[in-house]
């Protein structure tokens, strides 16, 4: 809201310059975003918070300055109208929507221009001068905060005003030329027959004043905040009037504003007001009374404020303060002040928060630190950063995409009335964000692309919405693309790297081994995809992106990824038992080289080995895999290495042979393995 | 007799001249081997008179020992030289770049969050997580938002249905925590928030906030100011000054907008205030006995201030050039 300083000075004699006023207002909670120059002198551009509608006017700002500078405040003067001579009948059908409605008549309206001083002030405030009558309504709204509307009285059928909700089938063309069909919730101003304005928002064209208007009806009314907000929103029509009604308009200032407007109209020769006013006030404002304890004020602000200072500060803001216990009557323009704490704020902000000292809270408390999930998420990050992955953070809103698998992600959760198609729902997978980040960086020629993210995914469950944390990573193309050594430069991410990462992560988190079995995720290469299982339960997936999916995303190199349920990982982490004593005895190393069918999954070999292991096997693993000549087609040779050691003795050759024989036999029996002679 | 002396002299000369361990090996075989010259000398003892035999035997053995020692010394010398030569031949250009090790990094928001958590943890604040998909009750109603008020206009909201929404502020956690606890407590939360906004250099539909609140007896604006100063000093370094300015948030009263003196200018960081007594009462906390403060700020904002970043969009674009600087 823009207001010229000289207009404010008409009501409070502040001497300070515009910059100083701006600073003082800002420090009292009325942020002046900037001061500007205009033909009406310096202009303050004030950003009024939603609770302070009373400050959306010259008088509102002047009142604040009078309190801040301890200067007297004057009010706009006008000869009072007489309620004994109501010029028009006014019916209010829904007083809760319209607690008060006042109307005055101005006869002999002349289509003159408003005077230069008024036009300059309006322009400085950002309003276009139109003609004297409309200008006066705008001027008084800016000055007193009360929106006004001028009707051409001769076009009001039946010469009366009816305030009521819209009826089915009614329509109205508003001043912006749009034909509107108000809903049954909307409050209208009507004449005897039809709607003539949307209450508190905008008038209609049929009763608009113009050059031929002879008699004008001036409306000054109080509409309820909720009613006007409802209308403005459902019509998509936001005006200076609706803006003020949605916040605060002083119900007690209704007639004063009408009188001020009539006085100005008469003063500038635009018409002759009738002395009477129709003032229908079915829901009278009842002032609220609060008690304020100065000790409480001091306790909340953190510094001592005397009783006298509390009383004086509140009085300057227009509160009536009575008695030693400080009973405070809240003025009609301050509905935001509802309890003692609001008065504490009033006192504090007028005195200035610079007086608040600094102190550290004393006393007992809960123990500080990160949450269990926060700590676990940091461990996930540290492990992945430690093996050279870069963390990314992508946002949670996205369009439907092939990069989400509906079978693992559940039903998509759309955003109601989304900003755009690109942001129309919540992510069910972290993969789209990783792919997008990788593709953007690939387009810019940046690598290596080894990325991960920790974040929540969402879906619609059977009866509720699910929000689950996940961890996912993606590696695309060479892992060291800028190396000058060829073998390093050419090493590229592959399935086993992703699988190894998952195993490394599990290992570092103290999670039991994660099992991989062939998967069916359509986003992934049909021959290179796996389901990850933890204790037989689904944990996530690992795989190479399907080349078609990858191409569509703009990634040219082979791309592998995994995505795991972080909550399940957290639940399974750190389950290891106590440390065992180290055996002082020599270990024995032995290899087995079974030859098996190429299409026999290694998982079968693993299962066979694990069945046949005894506790003397300290470690075992696959240490080589060979295919091709001289082996027959369709077979491959594995090297399985075993380290045997007992905690309490040196193993005898017979024990070693017995164990290796059992392993060999198990492989022959359940994997059809053969061994070279 | 002279024959032995000559032989030893010859051998010493040859050992000294041997240029490689191979040549030395040949010399060793020639003089000390089973078919070597000294062995031949020993065999010749048989032809001597009995009384001369021990003397000659002793001399030959002494010569053998002497030559063996010389050979060992020479072998060590040659071995060192040969190994030196071999290592010299293995020289590489140590000024070539090293093999690039994959070096990962935290996202700047994670790094900033971690720092904030450490500082607040040290001040006794316990972090609690709340859902990103919130309900209207916690995001607005429990936070004292008046029904259908223009205060909502500053909190443009993504709704999923009539009652569920993406939280617009991490403050939404307050009600969740306070209904389950009795004072005193110091709580903080950090996470993702959403607002229905078009994206530009200073606005984003997705951003991150840290929200901090405590409730105890006798908490005032002074405790808030002191805590904020402590927090800001730890986050931004040095002795910072904190300035309060009145502002409006439905969940605090008095409401405060706080700024720190940074680079000689007041820099607004976020909103704060005393927790509105209606909120405490709504959570079953006696607002006469207890009071509390709350403050919040953007995680992006902290990083932007610390590192001089001017475009908010960078944080969710994941350009490696940006991420690697942090």
> Is B160 within 8 Å of A360 when comparing Cβ atoms?
no
Classify the C-alpha dihedral A352-A355-A360-A364 as positive or negative: negative
Minimal Cβ distance to B99: which of A51, A364, A488: A488
Q: Where are the beta strands (DSSP E) in A567-634?
A: 588-592, 594-597, 617-627
| pLDDT digits 0-9 by tens, A239-263 | 999 999 999 899 999 999 999 999 9
Between residues 165 and 224 of chain A, which touch chain B (CB distance below 8 Å)? none
The SS3 call for residue B245 is strand
What number of residues does chain A have?
677
Searching chain B, which residue's CA lies closest to the CA of residue A450?
Answer: B104
CB burial of residue A123 (10 Å; 0-12, 13-18, 19+): middle
> Is B254 within 8 Å of A300 when comparing Cβ atoms?
yes
DSSP assignment letter at A157: G
Span A67-83, mean pLDDT? 95
Kindly indicate the confidence band of residue B297, based on its pLDDT and cuts at 50, 70 and 90: very high
**Given the DSSP bridges, would you call strands B185-194 and B126-127 parallel, antiparallel or unpaired?**
parallel
**Has residue B1 got a pLDDT over 60?**
no
**A463 against A372, higher pLDDT:** A372
**Has residue A489 got a pLDDT over 60?**
yes
A238 CA: distance to closest CA in chain B (Å) = 12
A257 at the B interface (CB within 8 A)? no
**Has residue B152 got a pLDDT over 90?**
no
Kindly indicate the confidence band of residue A409, based on its pLDDT and cuts at 50, 70 and 90: low
| pLDDT digits 0-9 by tens, A143-201 | 999 999 999 999 999 999 999 999 999 999 999 999 999 999 999 999 999 999 999 99
For residue A408, the model assigns a pLDDT of 59
| pLDDT digits 0-9 by tens, B192-228 | 999 988 899 999 999 999 999 999 999 999 999 999 9
A300 at the B interface (CB within 8 A)? yes
For residue A407, the model assigns a pLDDT of 66
A336 CA: distance to closest CA in chain B (Å) = 10
Give the residue from B108, B13, B80 showing the smallest Cα distance to B326: B108
For residue B154, the model assigns a pLDDT of 73
Between residues 150 and 169 of chain A, which touch chain B (CB distance below 8 Å)? none
**Has residue A575 got a pLDDT over 90?**
no
**Has residue A349 got a pLDDT over 90?**
yes
- The Cα–Cα gap between A521 and A515 comes to 16
Span A273-279, mean pLDDT? 97
- The Cα–Cα gap between A70 and A485 comes to 79
> Is B160 within 8 Å of A358 when comparing Cβ atoms?
no
Kindly indicate the confidence band of residue A578, based on its pLDDT and cuts at 50, 70 and 90: confident
**Has residue A677 got a pLDDT over 80?**
no
**Given the DSSP bridges, would you call strands A2-4 and A41-47 parallel, antiparallel or unpaired?**
antiparallel
Lowest mean pLDDT of A221-225, A227-231, B32-36, name the range: B32-36
Strand order in the sheet with A2-4: A2-4, A41-47, A31-38
**Has residue B167 got a pLDDT over 90?**
yes
Give the residue from A40, A44, A41 showing the smallest Cα distance to A31: A44
- The Cα–Cα gap between A469 and A23 comes to 46
Span A361-379, mean pLDDT? 89
Element (H, E) at A68: helix A58-69
A451 at the B interface (CB within 8 A)? yes
CB burial of residue A636 (10 Å; 0-12, 13-18, 19+): middle
Helices and strands (H, E) in chain A, number of each type: 20, 33
| pLDDT digits 0-9 by tens, A100-150 | 999 999 999 999 999 999 999 999 999 999 999 999 999 999 999 999 999
Residues 6+ apart with CB under 8 A from B322: B108, B314
CB–CB of B196/B154 below 8 Å? no
Mean pLDDT score of chain A: 94
Query: What's the gap between Cα A478 and its chain centre?
Result: 39
Alpha helices in A293-444 (DSSP H): 294-301, 307-316, 340-351, 372-386, 406-409, 431-443
For residue B48, the model assigns a pLDDT of 83
Searching chain A, which residue's CA lies closest to the CA of residue B292?
Answer: A300
Between residues 348 and 367 of chain A, which touch chain B (CB distance below 8 Å)? 348-349, 353-354, 356-361, 363-367
Kindly indicate the confidence band of residue B58, based on its pLDDT and cuts at 50, 70 and 90: confident
**Has residue B326 got a pLDDT over 80?**
no
- Best A224, A358, A396, A467 residue to mutate vs chain B (most B CBs within 10 Å): A358
Kindly indicate the confidence band of residue A282, based on its pLDDT and cuts at 50, 70 and 90: very high
Span B65-94, mean pLDDT? 92
Chain B residues with CB under 8 Å of A455 CB are: 192
Span A553-573, mean pLDDT? 96
> Is B110 within 8 Å of A26 when comparing Cβ atoms?
no
B298 CA: distance to closest CA in chain A (Å) = 15
Span B61-71, mean pLDDT? 90
Tell me the whole-structure pTM to 2 decimals: 0.88
- The Cα–Cα gap between B209 and B294 comes to 13
- The Cα–Cα gap between A312 and A324 comes to 13
Kindly indicate the confidence band of residue B7, based on its pLDDT and cuts at 50, 70 and 90: confident
- The Cα–Cα gap between B225 and B205 comes to 30
Long-range contacts of A19-25 (CB under 8 A, 24+ apart): A21/A65, A24/A65, A24/A68, A24/A69, A25/A61, A25/A64, A25/A65, A25/A68
Minimal Cβ distance to A371: which of B106, B129, B242: B129
> Is A29 within 8 Å of B248 when comparing Cβ atoms?
yes
What number of residues does chain B have?
326
Chain B residues with CB under 8 Å of A68 CB are: none
Q: What is the ipTM of this complex?
A: 0.90
């Amino acid at each position: 809201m823009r207001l010229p300083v000289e207009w404010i000075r008409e009501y409070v004699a502040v001497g300070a310059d515009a910059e100083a006023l701006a600073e003082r207002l800002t420090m009292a909670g009325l942020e002046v975003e900037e001061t500007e120059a205009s033909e009406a002198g310096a202009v303050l551009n004030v950003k009024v918070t939603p609770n302070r509608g009373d400050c959306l006017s010259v008088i509102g700002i002047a009142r604040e300055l009078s309190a801040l500078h301890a200067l007297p405040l004057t009010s706009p003067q006008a000869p009072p109208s007489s309620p004994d001579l109501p010029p028009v009948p006014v019916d209010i059908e829904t007083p809760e929507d319209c607690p008060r409605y006042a109307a005055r008549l101005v006869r002999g309206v002349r289509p003159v221009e408003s005077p230069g001083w008024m036009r300059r002030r309006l322009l400085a405030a950002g309003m276009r001068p139109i003609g004297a009558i409309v200008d006066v309504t705008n001027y008084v709204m800016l000055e007193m905060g009360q929106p006004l509307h001028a009707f051409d009285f001769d076009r009001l059928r039946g010469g009366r005003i009816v305030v009521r909700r819209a009826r089915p089938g009614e329509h109205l063309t508003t001043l912006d030329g749009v034909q509107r069909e108000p809903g049954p919730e909307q409050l209208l101003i009507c004449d005897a027959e039809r709607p003539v304005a949307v209450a508190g928002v905008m008038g209609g064209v049929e009763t608009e004043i113009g050059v031929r208007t002879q008699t004008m009806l001036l409306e000054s009314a109080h509409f309820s905040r909720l009613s006007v907000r409802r209308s403005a929103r459902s019509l998509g029509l936001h005006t200076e009037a609706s803006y003020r009604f949605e916040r605060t308009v002083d119900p007690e200032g209704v007639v004063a504003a009408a009188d001020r407007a009539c006085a100005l109209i008469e003063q500038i020769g635009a018409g002759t007001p009738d002395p009477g006013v129709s003032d229908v006030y079915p829901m009278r404002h009842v002032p609220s009374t609060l008690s304020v304890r100065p000790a409480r004020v001091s306790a909340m602000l953190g510094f001592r404020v005397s009783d006298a200072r509390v009383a004086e500060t509140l009085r300057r803001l227009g509160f009536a303060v009575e008695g030693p216990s400080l009973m405070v009557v809240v003025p009609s323009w301050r509905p935001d002040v509802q309890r003692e704490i609001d008065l504490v704020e009033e006192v504090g902000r007028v005195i200035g928060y610079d007086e608040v000292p600094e102190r550290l809270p004393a006393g007992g408390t809960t123990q500080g630190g990160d949450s269990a999930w926060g700590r676990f998420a940091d461990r996930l990050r540290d492990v992945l950063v430690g093996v050279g992955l870069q963390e990314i953070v992508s946002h949670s809103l996205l369009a439907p995409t092939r990069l989400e698998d509906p079978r693992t992600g559940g039903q998509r959760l759309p955003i109601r009335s989304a900003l755009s198609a690109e942001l129309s729902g919540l992510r069910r997978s972290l993969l789209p964000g990783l792919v997008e980040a990788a593709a953007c960086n690939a387009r810019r020629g940046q690598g290596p692309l080894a990325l991960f993210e920790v974040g929540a995914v969402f879906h619609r469950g059977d009866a509720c919405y699910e929000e689950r944390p996940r961890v996912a990573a993606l590696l695309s193309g060479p892992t060291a693309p800028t190396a000058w050594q060829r073998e390093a430069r050419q090493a590229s991410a592959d399935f086993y790297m992703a699988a190894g990462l998952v195993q490394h992560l599990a290992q570092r988190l103290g999670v039991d081994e994660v099992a991989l079995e062939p998967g069916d995720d359509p986003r992934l290469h049909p021959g290179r995809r796996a389901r990850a299982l933890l204790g037989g339960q689904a944990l996530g997936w690992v795989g190479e992106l399907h080349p078609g999916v990858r191409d569509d995303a703009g990634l040219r190199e082979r791309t592998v990824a995994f995505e795991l349920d972080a909550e399940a990982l957290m639940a399974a982490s750190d389950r290891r038992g106590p440390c065992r004593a180290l055996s002082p005895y020599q270990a024995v190393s032995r290899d087995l080289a079974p030859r098996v069918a190429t299409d026999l999954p290694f998982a079968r070999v693993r299962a066979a080995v694990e069945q046949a292991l005894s506790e003397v096997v300290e470690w075992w693993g696959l240490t080589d895999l060979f295919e091709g000549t001289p082996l027959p087609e369709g077979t491959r040779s594995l090297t399985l290495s075993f380290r045997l050691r007992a905690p309490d003795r040196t193993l005898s050759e017979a024990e070693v042979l017995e164990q290796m024989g059992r392993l060999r036999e198990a492989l022959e029996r359940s994997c059809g393995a053969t061994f070279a002679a | 007799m002279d024959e032995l002396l000559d032989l030893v002299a010859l051998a010493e000369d040859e050992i000294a001249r041997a240029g490689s361990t191979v040549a030395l090996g040949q010399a060793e075989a020639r003089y000390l081997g089973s078919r070597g010259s000294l062995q031949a000398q020993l065999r010749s003892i048989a032809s001597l008179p009995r009384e001369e035999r021990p003397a000659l035997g002793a001399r030959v053995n002494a010569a053998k020992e002497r030559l063996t020692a010389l050979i060992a010394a020479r072998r060590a010398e040659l071995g060192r030289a040969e190994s030196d030569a071999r290592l010299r031949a293995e020289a590489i250009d140590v000024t070539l770049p090293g093999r690039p090790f994959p070096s990962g990094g935290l996202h700047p928001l994670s790094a900033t969050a971690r720092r904030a958590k450490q500082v607040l943890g040290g001040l006794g604040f316990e972090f609690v997580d709340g859902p990103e998909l919130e309900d209207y009750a916690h995001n607005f109603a429990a936070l004292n938002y008046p029904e259908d008020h223009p205060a909502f206009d500053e909190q443009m909201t993504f709704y999923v249905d009539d009652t569920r929404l993406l939280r617009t502020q991490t403050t939404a956690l307050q009600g969740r925590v306070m209904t389950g606890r009795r004072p005193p407590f110091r709580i903080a939360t950090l996470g993702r928030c959403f607002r229905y906004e078009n994206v530009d250099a200073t606005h984003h539909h997705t951003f991150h906030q840290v929200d901090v609140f405590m409730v105890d007896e006798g908490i005032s604006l002074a405790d808030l100011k002191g805590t904020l100063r402590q927090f800001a000093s730890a986050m931004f370094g040095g002795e910072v000054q904190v300035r309060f300015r009145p502002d409006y948030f439905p969940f605090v009263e008095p409401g405060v907008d706080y700024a720190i003196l940074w680079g000689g200018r007041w820099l607004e960081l976020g909103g704060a205030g005393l927790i509105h007594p209606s909120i405490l009462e709504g959570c079953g906390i006696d607002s006469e006995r207890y009071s509390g403060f709350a403050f919040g700020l953007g995680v992006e904002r902290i990083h932007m201030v610390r590192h001089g970043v001017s475009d908010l969009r960078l944080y969710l674009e994941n350009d490696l050039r940006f991420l690697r600087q942090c």
